[in-house]
Amino acid sequence: MTAQRDGVLRATRRGFIAASAGLLAAACSDERAASAPPAPPSPTDRNRTEPFFGEHQSGILTPAQAHTYFAAFDLTTGKRDDIVALFRSWTTAAERMCRGQPSEPASNGAQSPATDSCDVLEVPPSQLTVTFGFGAGLFIKDGKDRYGLAGKRPAALVDMPHFPGDQLVEARSGGDLSIQACANDAQVAFHAVRQLARLAYGVAEIRWVQTGFVADFGEHATPRNLMGFKDGTGNPKVDDPALMDAFIWVGDEGPDWLRGGSYVVARRSRIALEHWDRMTVAFQEQTFGRQKLSGAPLGKPAEADAVDLEATTSDGNPVIPENSHVRLAHHTSNDGARILRRSYSYNDGVSFTAERWPPWHQGMEYDAGLLFIGYQRDPRTGFIKIFERMSRFDMMNQFVTNVGSGLFACPRGIAAGEFLGQSLFSTA
């Protein structure tokens, strides 16, 4: 709802919602709305909020919301102070938006440029999370120490190796900063990045973005990817703190700003869906190493059953093929390496494609597939370790083209009163 204050109309997303639900008898200003009692529990997750401040950034262990808008930025400023100012404003704006408020208060009739674009003004918080990451370019770029941070580049923030089959497009890869906005509403996720990008005018520019989605399979079900298979069954359990400390959170080996943070690998993997749809289900299952409908590992009846990589058929062949996705991804095949996958499907329409094998089709094909997002404590012993072999041997590779890739160090969570990455800048 709107309220008269300082002679202008002001509104908040939360204000609108609360009022339309009849919770507030009187109109309220945006700051008062923030301290209003929380809405009663809703049967939907539209009204849920995720904490912005805390030990860890949200959006990592948070169960995947329905939509993401992942953006990578190039820093264009030469001044360290600009970055500090940007991170201060990003912190304030992101925290507001995660509470369902505009990035800055908005008003009708203002004679100044719009502060918030207002396109989700009445939309509930939708469980928005905003997760920031720092690319290598924040520390050093083309050999230049732009901000006096070169000495603080963490060892694990490596340059990603080239993997067999990579067809990386420069304009879809890299970046000095990253923002992963996730929400149960596509527009809320886009809105968040759009406001943050506006606050970065003159300091940082969008380099690439990727939208993603995951369908609603129910709270305790493993979602399916566009290949029609359940994806994420073998993920480490996020409610096991020891597992998270071991594999996801950076520990004492990292600097203060990164301790309790993580590393994210984001990759755009186009999938040849028209090909895949022409394969027999039996072949698809050999490729994955799992049954299509049930999600059970081959040779087992249920999705939750442990993958048995030793099992053999009566003629001595492995039940789960040597080159199947599940075998190559499994931690016992990778010296125990584990990462937390938090991937989305993406769908960017169609583009002209010339096929190089039967059915030799030329024409419009889906530009759709997987926005792979994986979190880990150290990419050298996480994604890179696992993908070294997968990129060589995975049967699935024939359907997948990796066209974009980024690696970012995600700082630890922000405490109230702090700003993003503060201790990276405050220490000498």
Nearer to its own copies, 225 or 391 (CB): 225
Burial class (CB in 10 A: 0-12, 13-18, 19+), 162: exposed
Selected binder of its own copies within 7, 26, 37, 112 (CB under 8 A): 112
Pick 105 or 260: Cβ nearer its own copies: 105
Question: CB 193 → its own copies: shortest distance, Å?
Answer: 10
Residue 126 makes contact with its own copies by CB under 8 A: yes
Beta bridge partners of 364: 352
Among 38, 55, 63, 114, binds its own copies (CB under 8 A): 114
Q: Which of 178, 269, 343, 345 binds its own copies (CB under 8 A)?
A: 345
Which residues are CB-neighbours of 303 under 8 A, at least 6 positions away? 222, 230, 233, 290, 294, 295, 296
Using rule CB under 8 A, residue 213 touches its own copies: yes
In whole angstroms, how far apart are CA 353 and each of 63, 113, 179, 347, 356? 35, 42, 30, 15, 9
Cα(154)–Cα(220) distance, integer angstroms: 36
The secondary structure of residue 108, as a DSSP letter, is: T
- For its own copies (CB under 8 A), the number of binding residues is 83
Residue 372: CB minimum distance to its own copies, A: 16
The residues that bridge with 354 in the sheet, in sequence order, are 362
- CB 212, CB 75: distance < 8 Å: no
Amino acid at 269: S
Residue 180 in tokens: 């992963």
Q: Is 43 in the site for its own copies (CB under 8 A)?
A: yes
d(CA 30, CA 24): 13
Q: Residues 5, 29, 36, 46: which binds its own copies (CB under 8 A)? A: 46
Query: Counting contacts by CB under 8 A, is residue 20 touching its own copies?
Result: yes
Q: Which of 363, 392, 426, 427 binds its own copies (CB under 8 A)?
A: 363
Q: Tell whether residue 77 is a contact of its own copies (CB under 8 A).
A: no
Q: Per CB under 8 A, which region of 247-255, 312-320, 364-372, 379-387 contacts its own copies?
A: 364-372
Instruction: Tell me if 319 contacts its own copies by CB under 8 A.
Output: no
Closer residue to its own copies (CB): 325 or 412: 325
Name which of 154 and 295 has its Cβ closer to its own copies: 295
Site residues for its own copies, 154-193, by CB under 8 A, read 171, 185-188, 190
60 binds its own copies (CB under 8 A): no
| Least distance between its own copies and beta carbon 203 (Å) | 13
Q: Pick from 148, 348, 392, 398: which binds its own copies (CB under 8 A)?
A: 348
Shortest spacing between CB 7 and its own copies, in angstroms: 14
Question: Would you say 82 or 418 has its CB closer to its own copies?
Answer: 82
Which region, judged by CB under 8 A, interacts with its own copies, from 146-154, 202-210, 256-264, 416-424?
Answer: 202-210
Q: Is 99 in the site for its own copies (CB under 8 A)?
A: no
CB 81 within 8 A of CB 92: no
- Amino acid letter for position 64: A
* Contact by Cβ (8 Å): 131, 410: yes
Dist CA 127 CA 182 (whole Å): 8
- The reply to whether 129 sits near its own copies by the rule CB under 8 A is no
Binding of residue 225 to its own copies (CB under 8 A)? yes
Sorted by sequence, the CB contacts under 8 Å of residue 219 that are 6+ apart come out as none
Question: Minimum distance between the CB of residue 39 and its own copies, rounded to whole angstroms?
Answer: 13
Residue 313 in contact with its own copies, rule: CB under 8 A: no
Q: Which residues pair with 72 in a beta bridge?
A: 178, 208
Under 8 Å between Cβ of 14 and 102: no
Residues 255-294 that bind its own copies (CB under 8 A): 273-274, 276-282, 284-285, 291-294
Residue 404 CA to residue 2 CA, distance in Å, equals 44
Torsion of CA 31, 33, 35, 38, to 10 degrees: -160
Cα–Cα distance measured from residue 38 to residue 48, given in angstroms and rounded to the nearest whole number? 10
Q: Give strand ranges (E) for 282-384.
A: 340-341, 344-354, 362-376
Binders in 387-426 for its own copies, by CB under 8 A? none
Q: How far is the CB of 198 from its own copies (least distance, A)?
A: 6
Smallest distance, Å, CB 417 to its own copies? 29
